[in-house]
Structure 1
């Protein structure tokens, strides 16, 4: 995720203008309009939760494409609470942000990290990705300014048509940037939530992809007061929040070349 976010930030808001001039703003199937309705809907929800399945591809030196799969859940309470759990073949990790402190726990590593955190979820996501490169699949969709972040480097946007993801009918959109192509499937109806998100790296041999499927969306308030409280597991060791320690928290085995990670 951090790769595409860095690219978008470097190019800036010029891409938004290019995208909007590449399509007709009057069209009912305007991809920018559909994407903005999704972003506005998510940003307007004080509480959000969902589960997800993610696949990240890598290309080996022998040009073999290998895919690694993970699953997880997230819970968000705006503006300053977040909990994410992800389990895969090489990591079982949990992130908890309580408005003051961010904690990361690795069940396989039996270690955790803690640091003082900024005062919003948006700032925490930006800080974590900038300082550690932590894999946080699809968190750009949860930002309060998700629309601006998503389209600011886009040079082209298309409404492909309709698709069905996990039995749910969706609008299928496709966008292009200089370095990545990305697609998103957005539920049709009163709750335009993202159901599938695919990022393709165009600058890497074999065009590896990152695929995210999101389901079980809920907007109910969290009744449990401990939802965003981190409790240190018995026997866990505290480690420093740095890039070396973050290897234990990655979706890929140590030493694996990265693919289309965002």
Structure 2
């Protein structure tokens, strides 16, 4: 019938209208003095202090990372993983996705990055706290783990370093858990944090938006399971290579949750 949109087009148009109206409401709300920078920073500091007191932490998570193709199509890649931390200097972090299966092990003296798909690993000596390890991974080994910020002994110092503006948006629910929703802006990235409400301010969701990249791709981390205050097994941070071969760091460049090249029309 003339003048009638196909179902998909009507749904798309209705969604765009709803999004515009919702966005307008949010924009007007962001100007509200009830959302104070001071409250957001206080909640972030409370979370940081609580996390720092946890000697042993384990968690399971899902993560999504977006890329934007040259044609401005946004593609999302999903992974799941686990983390085990024993302060000050023990960490085991694993992540499995469609294109990689990677594990990082730090026993207090040696850092090992194990590419299970490649059946290979790289190692480098390091002594010190986990905070220093995260810096070393990023600066020297070109290994970045955005969610690792949440495990630092002083996550407040690290995460607030470049903050230009912060807001306590209000409440939200993540996997059935009521949370405080915080939003922060920086010169190159914006990020949001959902923290469990009440006396145990555990991070439940973390979103990083890259403003300097066309299409503003996002990294999202959702913490599904959380435990603290237990005794880790003595061998929990031991690395056993099995038949995996040791290789140079440059060979680990392809052990990523995003395939080396993504193009339209290319099958996996």
Q: Please give the range of the TM-score, normalised by the shorter of the 2 chains.
A: 0.7 to 0.9
Unaligned runs of 5+ in 2: 1-34, 264-268
> What's the TM-score, normalizing by structure 1?
0.84
The equivalent of 2:51 in structure 1 is 42
Give the match's secondary structure for 2:205: strand
- Distance, in Å, in 1 between the alignment partners of 2:223 and 2:167 is 22
Matched, 1:209 2:218: yes
- 2:255 equivalent among 242, 249, 253: 249
- C-alpha contact 1:106 1:248 (8 A) present in aligned 2: no
- 1:190 equivalent among 192, 196, 199: 199
- C-alpha contact 1:48 1:220 (8 A) present in aligned 2: yes
- Distance, in Å, in 2 between the alignment partners of 1:103 and 1:166 is 32
Give the match's secondary structure for 2:201: coil
**RMSD of Structure 2 on Structure 1 (CA):** 1.6
Matches for 1:106-255 after TM superposition, within 5 Å: 106-233=115-242, 235-241=243-249, 244-255=250-261
Unaligned runs of 5+ in 1: 1-21, 258-262
Query: How many pairs are equivalent?
Result: 229
- Distance, in Å, in 1 between the alignment partners of 2:99 and 2:141 is 18
- Distance, in Å, in 2 between the alignment partners of 1:173 and 1:256 is 33
- C-alpha contact 1:93 1:107 (8 A) present in aligned 2: yes
- C-alpha contact 2:54 2:229 (8 A) present in aligned 1: no
Give the match's secondary structure for 1:157: strand
- Which structure carries more relative contact order (alpha carbon 8 Å, separation 6+)? 1
Larger Rg: 2
- Distance, in Å, in 2 between the alignment partners of 1:47 and 1:24 is 31
